[in-house]
Structure 1
């Protein structure tokens, strides 16, 4: 235990500082700090007393209190589906209504199944591109998520890189096709992560 906060800068250790002095410094999430409550050096992003400091700068760390549950994420998904229904409709085959009717009553042909598969894949790709761009943008989430103050962040509460956002949204294909279990995992996962969140190491939070 120490008598104040110390900062590691290169090979130098500076301090001690009071918490008030620390909060007036230009810290980043990777700043190494020795806290008077801890025995080991830790990143600033791992010390709860600095959470509000980073939140004021638009960085929200995923915590037990701000993780978005299944219900909020489902509602945001419904809103996004409504938003995307119009652009997706441009790719709907003219015969889709008849094809869908045959598929539901068990009389679909191989050609019908191919048509439905192609349309479903196009729909998935449109949604994946939409969500990837939104999550990579300063919005940090889709229009549906932003309406409910929901954001997608990495473990440090930062905006996703394009690659991480793309990985997350392509991973939804597996989460959705495995009988939806990948999405339902949110209900019992301690971090409220779907499978695609696990793979991309992302978190969905509510900004209060």
Structure 2
């Protein structure tokens, strides 16, 4: 029988203890695979994992009555499912971690956008009431946008260092975060883990994908913080309940989360692209109307060069009816300074959006360059020459 010494969680040396006592401490979680141990014959302290084979095997599962009748005090029986090895740890695979990440991202994103909208309204109200200058408004908006990292830190570090040891997404997928000894994280280490994830964002998410090929499924921020993501039943008295393969229900959950995430992305892109496309269509119709007005303005310039006056109307100029269905009328006007212009009035139709009923004033300067201004049309819908 060997006499073992080991370093406990408080970095204090314990021992000597027998093979059986060390095995009991291992099953109870007081020591783990990474615990440094030494016995006579070893040249130095080494991780217990190298000498697990020397310890007595876990006892077989006992009925509750037998356990109550005389199971050794302090020894935690294996899971009821069978002869489960309490030293076995199932690391969470990439798919489970991805599903948890998507759930957490949607949850914290939803909360953030609600806070963001409320914050933006509040900043606008304060700015209007206090007559903020431009810099004050910008500072207020920066503070609103800084809410996200603060919210993210509180969520991830707070939940992963709590008794749950997991965020909502990880709880849904049956996984948790532990340190190298299988213990709950302190808030400091959980914060360091969160800060490490920023590096993964900066390198195009490569740090997150590392969980797919590292030996113990660690992402970059896990390696930086010395943490592991494992099945929720790891390091408990029922390790046999750990999920080793993705079952149908779990796959369905992950697929559903991915689908919802994809729909959210599509919705965001649609919310951005659809209005932009509609503005593009309206602007192209306004450009066509401006081009027809520019052609009429050139004829006005030729008329003035020949007669030294503006045409009385379109009929004198010989203008035909507008060819564009978006133009209500084209008028020849004379400005107070004696210059001539063409006024192109757009129709009041839904297809023109914010440009409906607007007016384009098109002419030529003395050097022959085209001029353009507008009334009742937003800048985003105007040709560049009219802004």
Match of 2:101 among 62, 66, 77: 77
Q: Are the aligned partners of 1:8 and 1:33 in contact in 2 as well (CA < 8 Å)?
A: yes
How many pairs does the alignment contain?
Answer: 179
Q: Are positions 1:171 and 2:168 aligned together?
A: no
Q: In structure 2, which of residues 7, 11, 16 is the aligned counterpart of residue 13 of structure 1?
A: 16
Q: Tell me which residue corresponds to 1:90.
A: 114
- For 2:17 and 2:23, locate their aligned partners in 1 and report how far apart those are by CA, in whole Å: 15
What is the distance in 1 between the residues matched to 2:76 and 2:175?
17
Q: 1:42-72, CA deviations, whole angstroms, 9 ceiling, x for partnerless residues?
A: 555776578987897xxx87x7x61112211
Give the direction of change, closer, same or farther, for the CA distance of 1:24–1:14 in structure 2 (3 Å limit). Answer: closer
> TM-score if structure 2 supplies the norm length?
0.38
1:77 CA displacement: 1.3
Match of 1:108 in 2: none
> Any conservation in 2 of the 1:5–1:33 contact (CA below 8 Å)?
no
Does residue 132 of the first structure (1) align with residue 157 of the second (2)? yes
* 1:145 CA drift (Å): 0.5
Measured against aligned partners, the alpha-carbon deviations of 1:86-129 in whole angstroms (never above 9, x if no partner) come to: 42123324799xxxxxxxxxxxxxxxxx9998766532331222
1:28 and 2:25 correspond: no
SS at match of 1:172: helix
Q: Is the 8 Å Cα contact of residues 165 and 178 (structure 2) preserved in structure 1?
A: yes
Structure 2 residues without counterparts, runs of 5 or longer: 7-12, 59-74, 79-85, 121-138, 233-241, 243-387
Q: Distance in 1 between matches of 2:169 and 2:49?
A: 28
Instruction: Specify whether residues 179 and 22 from structure 1 end up closer, same or farther in structure 2 by C-alpha distance, changes over 3 A only.
Output: closer
3-state secondary structure, aligned to 1:92? helix
- Is residue 33–residue 42 contact of structure 1 (8 Å, CA) maintained in 2? yes
Provide, for residues 151-181 of structure 1, a one-character-per-residue CA deviation record: whole Å limited to 9, x for no partner: 1111111111111100000111111121111
Structure 1 segment 1-208 matched on structure 2, within 5 A: 4-8=1-5, 13-15=16-18, 17=19, 19=20, 22-24=22-24, 28-29=30-31, 30=35, 32=37, 34=39, 42=46, 48=52, 66-93=90-117, 121-207=146-232, 208=242
1:91 is paired with a residue of what secondary structure?
A: helix
Q: Tell me, what secondary structure is at the counterpart of 1:152?
A: strand
Cross-structure match for 1:110: none
Q: How many Å separate the matches in 1 of 2:94 and 2:15? A: 46
Flag the 1:23–1:69 CA change in 2: closer, same or farther, 3 A: same
Alpha-carbon distance between aligned partners in 2 of 1:199 and 1:41, rounded to the nearest angstrom: 24
Residues 28, 44 of structure 1: 8 Å contact kept: no
Separation in structure 1 between the aligned mates of residue 105 and residue 190 of structure 2, nearest angstrom: 18
Kept after mapping to 1: 8 A contact 2:116/2:145: no
C-alpha displacement of 1:191? 2.4
* CA shift in 2, pair 1:85/1:151, >3 Å: same
